[in-house]
């Protein structure tokens, strides 16, 4: 009996030791994975920040973000999609938005958003051992099965759609038709929007109506949620992905009461100071929790500046607003800091597209990139970490909504369609021969037919193949139709 007890004790000790080794190995692996914080501003122009030529020029200094740029890398040629929903779809999936059925802001399809078949950035990072949270604007679905906590986030606080909806509750005609819609069951989407909260596996809960007072303070609340999440994860010792799609500077760009009048230069200056202060609070929270050195911190935006007069942003040297195929729509600020990893103070004009972040995060965090679908993002980690001077991306197809407007390759642009004027509300012109631009010589895209361009149309042999390859991929894997319900299974997987 004594021998049996001794053997049992020995095996128990070995088992305990094995479990301890395994737990330590998992803890060490998780500790080696960097935290990721991704700030994604809403309709925030290229020229707003001081380090991009704005700041005090726009009425509000941005010293904390300007300092962040000196501590990391600043990109001059970071590109996004031309509208909010497609931009966010591309970011979350690593794919052109048209592939996911989200090529345009939903104006008529209520059941929009990402199907459950899509494999999102938070799902990929969650599978790699990350805690995930999103605080802010989603704009990729407004129904059960399509909220952030259905798509990989552990927790969410924010709005499902867009900030202009905060203007609706104060309108008498809206209230009249909202009550009628509720009574008759017709036009169910004419209703007040709410701020929601949710955790993975549980239904979303409405917190309050998203009206003008709520609009003013939502980014304050988002920041507080983010700081709390950082603190909790720092104590837990688990790597985390924190996605912060702020609501500024989407119209109405009204500052928090805390910052109202602070710049002395109107709402825009106040809002810039607010954005800078909130970013500074997040950076300070990382320092307080002693995790700044192992955290990738990114500041960027979903689109270029607004097109509505009175709310219009500033896109620096570029022409066009969002909803156009011009550089003012496509290029946004991008700053990345990872102390000791990303070269400090580096500035680059290499092309990077927002869907490259999916594959890059997968590479850095040990995540898996799906092999059963087209992924448009490439891994630019060597470039961001200073191991390569080139990003590896030469260009991309320019979409406005679901339509191809052109192609960008290196510093050249070929557009088949353009909207008249500098905003996304002008007449659409379709050209019998494409317009070509050299963005070094003509950054504002003002002169499509010049003596120089007429004699240098070899450019098309760099531009054209990008579109040809893209069209082949669409033929091989047809895009999901907007409004496609779940469950969705691609036709090729049904065979």
d(CA 308, CA 323): 11
SS3 44: coil
pLDDT, position 20: 47
Mean pLDDT, residues 9-21: 48
Please tell me the distance from the alpha carbon of residue 280 to that of residue 369, in angstroms, as a whole number: 33
Q: How far is CA 419 from CA 172, 325, 411, in A?
A: 34, 8, 21
Partners of 413 in the β-ladder:
408, 437
pLDDT at 421: 81
Token digits for 147? 């909220």
C-alpha Rg value of the chain to the nearest Å: 24
Per the CB < 8 A criterion, the answer to whether 238 and 294 are in contact is no
Q: Check residue 26 and give its pLDDT.
A: 45
Q: How far apart are CA 2 and CA 117, in angstroms?
A: 58
Q: Which of 252-256, 343-347, 427-431 has the lowest mean pLDDT?
A: 427-431
Structure tokens at 434: 């494409």
Q: Inform me whether the pLDDT recorded for 24 exceeds 60.
A: no
pLDDT of residue 209: 98
Q: What is the overall mean pLDDT for the chain? A: 93
Q: Which residue has the higher pLDDT, 308 or 359?
A: 359
Looking at the whole model, is its pTM more than 0.85? yes
pLDDT at 453 (0 to 100): 80
Return the pLDDT at 25. Answer: 41
Percent with pLDDT over 90 in the chain: 85
Tell me the per-residue pLDDT of 354-413, one tens digit each, with 9 for 90 and over.
999 999 999 999 999 999 999 999 999 999 999 999 999 999 999 999 999 999 999 999
pLDDT of residue 241 exceeding 70, the answer is yes
The whole-number pLDDT of residue 5 equals 42
Q: What is the dihedral of CA 49, 53, 59, 65, to 10 degrees?
A: 30
480 DSSP assignment: P
Q: What is the pLDDT of residue 30?
A: 53
What are the helix (H) ranges across 366-457?
381-384, 451-454
Q: Are 323 and 339 in contact (CB under 8 A)?
A: no
Poorest-pLDDT segment among 17-26, 35-44, 85-94, 461-470: 17-26
Q: For residue range 67-94, list pLDDT tens digits in order.
A: 999 999 999 999 999 999 999 999 999 9
Mark residue 188 as left, alpha or beta (left: phi above 0; alpha: psi -120 to 50; beta: remaining).
Answer: alpha
pLDDT band per the 50, 70, 90 thresholds, residue 109: confident
Phi-psi region of 453 (alpha: psi -120 to 50; beta: other; left: phi over 0): alpha
Helix (H) or strand (E) holding 243: strand 240-244
The pLDDT tens digits for 330-362 are: 999 999 999 999 999 999 999 999 999 999 999
For residues 181 and 187, the answer to whether their CB atoms sit within 8 Å is: yes
Of 133-147, 442-456, 472-486, the range with the lowest mean pLDDT is 442-456
CA distances, 118 to each of 2, 52, 392, 442 (Å): 59, 35, 25, 39
Percent of the chain beyond pLDDT 70?
93
Q: Of the given ranges (31-45, 150-164, 441-455), which has the lowest mean pLDDT?
A: 441-455
Comparing 182 with 423, the larger pLDDT belongs to 182
Model confidence pLDDT, tens digit, residues 110-134: 889 999 999 999 999 999 999 999 9
**Average pLDDT over every residue of 278-292:** 98
Mind listing the pLDDT tens digit for each residue in 179-204? 999 999 999 999 999 999 999 999 99
Provide DSSP, 38-67: EEEESS--TT-SGGGT-GGGGTS--HHHHH
At residue 454, the pLDDT reads: 82
Name the pLDDT band for 495 (thresholds 50, 70, 90): very low
């Amino acid at each position: 009996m004594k021998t049996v007890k001794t053997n049992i004790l020995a095996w128990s000790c070995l088992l305990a030791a094995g479990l301890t080794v395994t737990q330590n190995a998992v803890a060490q692996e998780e500790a080696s994975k960097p935290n990721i914080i991704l700030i994604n501003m809403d309709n925030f122009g290229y020229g707003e920040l001081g380090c991009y030529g704005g700041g005090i020029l726009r009425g509000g200094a941005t010293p904390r973000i300007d300092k962040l740029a000196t501590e990391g890398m600043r990109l001059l040629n970071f590109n996004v999609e031309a509208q909010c929903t497609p931009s966010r779809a591309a970011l979350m999936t690593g794919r052109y938005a048209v592939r996911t059925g989200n090529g345009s802001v939903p104006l008529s399809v209520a059941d929009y958003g990402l199907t459950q078949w899509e494999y999102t950035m938070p799902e990929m990072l969650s599978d790699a051992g990350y805690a995930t949270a999103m605080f802010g604007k989603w704009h990729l679905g407004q129904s059960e099965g399509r909220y952030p906590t259905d798509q990989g986030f552990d927790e969410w606080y924010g709005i499902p759609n867009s900030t202009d909806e905060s203007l609706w509750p104060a309108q008498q005609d809206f209230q009249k038709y909202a009550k009628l819609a509720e009574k008759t069951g017709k036009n169910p989407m004419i209703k007040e929007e709410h701020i929601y909260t949710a955790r993975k596996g549980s239904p979303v809960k409405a917190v309050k109506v998203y009206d003008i007072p709520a609009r003013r303070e939502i980014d304050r609340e988002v920041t507080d949620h983010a700081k709390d999440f950082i603190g909790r994860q720092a104590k837990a010792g688990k790597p985390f992905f924190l996605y912060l799609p702020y609501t500024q500077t989407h119209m109405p760009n009204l500052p928090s009461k805390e910052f109202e009048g602070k710049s002395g230069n109107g709402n825009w200056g106040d809002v810039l100071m607010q954005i800078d202060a909130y970013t500074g609070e997040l950076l300070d929270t990382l320092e307080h929790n002693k995790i700044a050195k192992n955290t990738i911190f990114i500041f960027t935006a979903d689109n270029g500046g607004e097109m509505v007069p009175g709310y219009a942003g500033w896109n620096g040297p570029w022409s066009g607003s969002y909803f156009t195929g011009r550089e003012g729509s496509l290029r946004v600020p991008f700053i990345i800091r990872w102390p000791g990893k990303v070269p400090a103070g580096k500035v680059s004009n290499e092309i990077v597209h927002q869907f490259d972040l999916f594959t890059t995060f997968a590479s850095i965090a040990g995540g898996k990139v799906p092999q059963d679908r087209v992924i448009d993002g490439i891994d630019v980690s060597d470039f961001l970490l200073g191991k390569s001077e080139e990003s590896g991306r030469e260009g991309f197809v320019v979409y406005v909504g679901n339509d191809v407007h052109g192609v960008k390759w290196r510093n050249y642009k070929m557009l088949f369609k353009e909207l008249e004027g500098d905003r996304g509300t002008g007449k659409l012109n379709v050209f019998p021969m494409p317009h070509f631009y050299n963005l070094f010589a003509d950054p504002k895209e003002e002169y499509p037919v010049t003596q120089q361009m007429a004699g240098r149309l070899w450019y098309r042999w760099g531009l054209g193949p990008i579109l040809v390859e893209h069209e082949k991929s669409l033929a091989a894997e047809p895009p999901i139709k907007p409004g496609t319900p779940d469950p969705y299974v691609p036709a090729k997987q049904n065979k």
